[in-house]
Chain A
Amino acid sequence: MEKKVIRFVRNVRARLRELHIVDKLLKMAVAGLLTAALISVFALFVPFYYAVFAAVIVTAICILAGFLWGFINTPTMLKSALMADSKGHQEKFSTAYENVDKQDDFSLMQRRDAVKEMEQFKIRREFPIILSKKLIGGLLLFAVLFAAISSIDTPAKQKAFLSHDSKKAAEEVKKQIEKVEKEFDKKSYEGADTKEVAKAINTAKKELKTAKTRQEVAKAAKRLSRKLEQMAKKTNNKELGRKMSEQAEKLNKKVEKQQDELMKAAKEALEKAEKGSDKEKKEAAKKMAAMASALGNEELAKAAEQYSRENFSDSSYNNMKQALSKALKNSNQNNSLENAKASTASGNASAKVDPNATVNIKQQGNVSGNAANGAAAGQGSGNNGGASGNGTNGFGNSGAGWNHGSKNGSERDAITNNKVTVPDGTLGNDDNLTGKANENGSAVKQQSEHGLTWSGNKVDYGTVSGSYKDKAYKQVDGASYPASMKEKIRNYFSDLE
């Protein structure tokens, strides 16, 4: 009989625990969803990429907390017995439970009487799980609010997406750079060269840290790779030089791979969006915005925004497609220019083409590239000028050539107090250097054995240029110049080294 009493009270307690857990779970779920809705409202105005993830986590934590709260707050055995008594059993159960160990006549009679009623007591019926309508209503309301607000696109969300995208790209590039760093950590490469590599790597890492767009990430990586290539040519250590070239190549491949993947994804999204669902069109708009960020193209960014704003209309779709085409064209032109600049006068040229193209060009002089449904770019260098590339249904670019210029200078207006210094006076015609003086002007020619300096001390070039570069970088980072301008400045000072 004693066991019956204890088992009964235990079963009541278990049922009450269930009720408590459901009640607290519901309350905390409502609290969690309310917080989730507030987070999603916050994310409408402040860039926060992980808003949905955070909201889900918060809701899950609240639900878990509700479960634990309900579990911990379960009534004691005696309280459970009293709660069962409150259903009209006049404290028979709690008295029987308290006196379960007593064996006097009265306690035994009382226990028997209580057990009779326990056997008739339907625990689940007496303690039904009743869900509060208010709580259910609140739960549904906040869930719908959260879902609705999360699906709204705002500039802040766009910004968050782009920022996350560029950070992701930066992270991948950083990993590649760390591999490069590891490679040059080896003792066999100790020396001034590896120190310079380490310096370049640190600079690249800093740039990656502050990079806000994919374009900045790609350029930071490309600067490092260019640096490695330059150092590879200068170094006397063949093995080191080979390693540098190898790592530079890997870096370039990494960046290209990122861009290719982005391009592929953008292309696919664009194709799907042409006749796809709203979701696919939304995705396409996002990918175009990412593409615009990667290429640094405002026109494409605006076109993507317009596409979203005008509810994915056909005209805005075509606009966006055209803007992408233009952006790619501009990008390839810029790439050609940079690649050609990186080449030397001896005319090593390499051409980069869109992965959809089937042509890879590596030759001097006039070149052409053909590609179907892709972009081709041809580059030439040296004195022969550039070449053009043609593509059907693709984006054709013209080539660009660049040289150090002719030995004969061209006539220009006289500039007052201008000094022209020629390192080696044996080259060229000195008459060209003096230029044409105006009526009152005069040009003075001086020859010096000591080169560029008139007076003062000689300073090591590397120190000066390095110091200038550091100052320039600091200035650029803190200033509000346009991104393209910052890029030009960085490239300039980087090339000085």
Chain B
Amino acid sequence: MEEHDMKQWIDMVKDCEREIGKGIIGQKEVIRQVLLAVLADGNVLLEGVPGLGKTELVKALSKVFDMAFSRIQFTPDLMPADVTGTNLIIKEDGNNVFKFQPGPVFSNIVLADEINRATPKTQSALLEAMQEKTVTVGKETYELPSPFLVLATQNPIENEGTYPLPEAQLDRFLFKILVEFPDKAELKDIMDITVTNFKPALENILDGNRILSIRQVIRDMPVSDAVMDYALSLVVATHPEKEGAPDVTKKYIQTGASPRAAQAIVKTSKARAFIEGRYNVSFEDIRFVAYPALRHRLALNFDAISDNITPDEVIHKLIDGIDTILH
């Protein structure tokens, strides 16, 4: 791999980010984090109130990456077969035969809208696909297309009649990204696009194969021992049962992050360094990806709830503590 190839790919990824930004006003952080998850081969859980453009984001993503996109609206009556597909009896050559009809999960980018509305049985069907990148129907196992990315959404309000994802299944999401309400200027820009005839045309910049190659390159990016130690110290610091756990951990965390959190942090920090045009991971990369990588993996206790402490505040204090030791 030559340096100019590297620079070319970096520029292409930056162009992708810029292009997606044309379709989604504001939300720069969200776009950056989604892009990191794509490059790190991970799935994303988007949490935000309705109407913030989560679906538009996924559509823009699929256009820029030239990848197949499907959307699944999760409802309480949704069945697993509705997600994965099923065998149907069809007439073929005069005979009735069973033929597998692939479900909406057979796509490069799957938008699982309001995943917490479906029953646990249906949720687990999708989650199996996310983890294994395969679907098993009957005795047959079918490979999902590559690259494969699930963007699930959750509404933080209206929790009645929902089935919150258990921690074990939340852990399978690389990132949990919070989609915030836009400010006034951004809202105006949104109006300009959505209530007028003006529709931004998004260009295709990368394809699936190029994304797979970029992922391969990113995996080779070096991480120094000091930076790796920093990332691992952060994950270990989330465990209250460990010796030397910070006070904030002992006070507010019931269960700490799993080793998947460490993997998520390292993979996505490499992706960030790549997008930034560097050939090594820095402490700043770790700090950036720590929030989306850890916030859904920390089980806070009742003290945190009663003190109104959010996972992001806990992560912030942990980072401050480790930075102090580092200096």
In the complex where A109-B3, A113-B278 touch, is A91 in contact with B224 (Cβ < 8 A)?
A: yes
Is there a chain B Cβ closer than 8 Å to A245's Cβ? no
Q: Mark A398-434, 1 if CB is under 8 A from B, else 0.
A: 0000000000000000000000000000000000000
Closest to A105 in B: B1
Q: Is the CB of B226 within 8 A of A91?
A: yes
Q: How many of chain A's residues touch chain B, expressed as a range?
A: 20 to 34
Q: How far is the CA of A281 from the CA of B227 in the complex (A)?
A: 71
Q: Is the CB of A90 within 8 A of B224?
A: no
Q: Is the CB of A98 within 8 A of B220?
A: no
Tell me the total A-B contact number using a CB cutoff of 8 A.
56
Q: Is the CB of B279 within 8 A of A113?
A: yes
Q: Is the CB of A92 within 8 A of B280?
A: yes
Q: Is the CB of A82 within 8 A of B226?
A: yes
Q: Report chain B residues within 8 Å CB of A98.
A: 222, 224-225
Q: Mark A82-120, 1 if CB is under 8 A from B, else 0.
A: 100100001110111011001011110110111000000
Q: Is the CB of B226 within 8 A of A109?
A: no
Is there a chain B Cβ closer than 8 Å to A78's Cβ? yes
In the complex where A90-B282, A112-B3 touch, is A106 in contact with B222 (Cβ < 8 A)?
A: yes
Q: Is the CB of B222 within 8 A of A107?
A: yes
Q: How far is the CA of A105 from the CA of B4 in the complex (A)?
A: 12
In the complex where A90-B284, A91-B226, A91-B283 touch, is A106 in contact with B278 (Cβ < 8 A)?
A: no
Q: Which positions 228-242 of chain A face chain B at CB distance < 8 Å?
A: none
Q: Report chain B residues within 8 Å CB of A92.
A: 278-280, 282
Q: How far is the CA of A96 from the CA of B278 in the complex (A)?
A: 12
Closest to A102 in B: B222
Q: Report chain B residues within 8 Å CB of A99.
A: 222, 224
In the complex where A99-B222, A106-B222 touch, is A91 in contact with B281 (Cβ < 8 A)?
A: yes
Is there a chain A Cβ closer than 8 Å to B221's Cβ? yes
Can you give 28 contacting A-B residue pairs, CB < 8 Å? A78-B225, A85-B282, A90-B282, A90-B283, A90-B284, A91-B226, A91-B227, A91-B280, A92-B280, A92-B282, A94-B224, A94-B226, A95-B227, A96-B280, A98-B222, A98-B224, A99-B224, A102-B222, A105-B220, A106-B217, A106-B220, A106-B279, A107-B222, A109-B3, A109-B6, A110-B280, A112-B3, A114-B280
**Distance (Å) between the CB of B144 and the closest chain A CB?**
29
Q: Is the CB of B220 within 8 A of A104?
A: yes
Q: Is the CB of A110 within 8 A of B226?
A: no
Q: How far is the CA of A104 from the CA of B225 in the complex (A)?
A: 18
Q: Is the CB of B282 within 8 A of A91?
A: yes
Q: Is the CB of A78 within 8 A of B226?
A: yes
Q: How far is the CA of A106 from the CA of B284 in the complex (A)?
A: 20
Q: Is the CB of B279 within 8 A of A110?
A: yes
Sample of 13 more A-B contacts, CB < 8 Å, known A90-B280, A99-B222, A105-B220: A78-B226, A85-B282, A90-B278, A91-B280, A91-B282, A91-B283, A95-B223, A95-B227, A105-B1, A106-B217, A110-B222, A110-B279, A114-B280
Q: Report chain A residues within 8 Å CB of B278.
A: 90, 92, 113
Q: Report chain A residues within 8 Å CB of B6.
A: 109
Q: How far is the CA of A403 from the CA of B155 in the complex (A)?
A: 130
